[in-house]
């Protein structure tokens, strides 16, 4: 079956612009995670969705970052007024409620000029 997909694969934007990154999880997976991977850094947890529960937003670095998950499936990560330090690879992962394994998408490479 299809894995986790993310779009776009690459995004170049100008400082101050807003961007939207999309994640399509594996069908039936109730849990969805967003991570940020900066050069030389590990994966930084951003936000977690599980079913209809309130998301865990504890990893969002500022109020410029927000995320939605519509219908318990597709998720969009929005970064407003982008800054150069937002440049990174943004990874999405999903898992089923009973699984301990997260399945990762290929990521979106964001470059802010």
Partner 1 sequence: AQSVTQPDIHITVSEGASLELRCNYSYGATPYLFWYVQSPGQGLQLLLKYFSGDTLVQGIKGFEAEFKRSQSSFNLRKPSVHWSDAAEYFCAVGPLSGGYQKVTFGTGTKLQVIP
Backbone φ, ψ for residue 10 (5° rounding): -135, 140
Q: Which of 29, 90, 107, 110 binds partner 1 (CB under 8 A)?
A: 107
Kindly compute the dihedral angle of the four CA atoms of residues 60, 15, 39, 89, in this order, to the nearest 10 degrees.
60
22 binds partner 1, rule: CB under 8 A: no
User: Of the two residues 73 and 103, which places its CB atom closer to partner 1 in the complex?
Assistant: 103
95 binds partner 1, rule: CB under 8 A: yes
- The sign of the CA dihedral 59, 110, 76, 92 is negative
User: Of the two residues 42 and 71, which places its CB atom closer to partner 1 in the complex?
Assistant: 42
């Amino acid at each position: 079956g299809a894995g986790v997909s993310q779009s776009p694969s690459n995004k170049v934007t100008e400082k101050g612009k807003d961007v939207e990154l999309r994640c399509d999880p594996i069908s039936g997976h109730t849990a969805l995670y967003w991570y940020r991977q900066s050069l030389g850094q590990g994966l930084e947890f951003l936000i977690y969705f599980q079913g209809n529960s309130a998301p865990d937003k504890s990893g969002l670095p500022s109020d410029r970052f927000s995320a939605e998950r519509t219908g318990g499936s597709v998720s969009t990560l929005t970064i407003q007024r982008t800054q150069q330090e937002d440049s990174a690879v943004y990874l999405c992962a999903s898992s089923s409620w009973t699984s301990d394994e997260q399945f990762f998408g290929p990521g979106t490479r964001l470059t802010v000029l």
